[in-house]
Amino acid sequence: MERSFVEENARERERLRTLVGRLTDEELGLPMGTHWTIAVALAHLAFWDQRSLVLMRKWKDSGVVEPSPIDVDVTNDSLLPLWILLEPRKAANLAVSCAESIDRALEEASSEIIAQIERLGDKFRLYRSIHRKLHLDQIEELLKEREPR
């Protein structure tokens, strides 16, 4: 079974770890649109990776992979006040640890579970890298805009 998601997830996880390691506390507080900061974006990544991990554990325990519908916008809007309250450095570190946990679970998953996940048709379930890349690109673009010319 082809598992290219392992390499792609690892690449974006390392990119996340490197970024978190070099971000200053000031930079973690930089705004990213309405109500979001870099730290909030990282807390957001942590949540979605953690949700994926919980689903993986459920699927592994039951041996059955089934859809788990969620209203993404309502969920993000509902969690925003909690993400804002998180201490920025803890939110950043949580993003890294959640990425490590889901990536490990995906790497260790049986071929049967992976095949069932693939049949759901949502690439992001295996390729956690897609979501990370989106927000890491946004964060890096914001930081690049702040660099002196």
* Whole-structure pTM value: 0.95
Query: pLDDT per residue over 47-100, tens digit each?
Result: 999 999 999 999 999 999 999 999 999 999 999 999 999 999 999 999 999 999
Superfamily assignment of 4-146 in CATH? dinb family like domain (1.20.120.450)
Give the number of residues written for the chain.
149
Rounded Cα gap, residues 123 and 140, in angstroms:
24
Mean pLDDT, rounded, for 103-127: 95
Query: pLDDT per residue over 7-28, tens digit each?
Result: 999 999 999 999 999 999 999 9
- Separation in Å, CA 44 to CA 11, 34, 55, 73, 136: 19, 14, 17, 12, 12
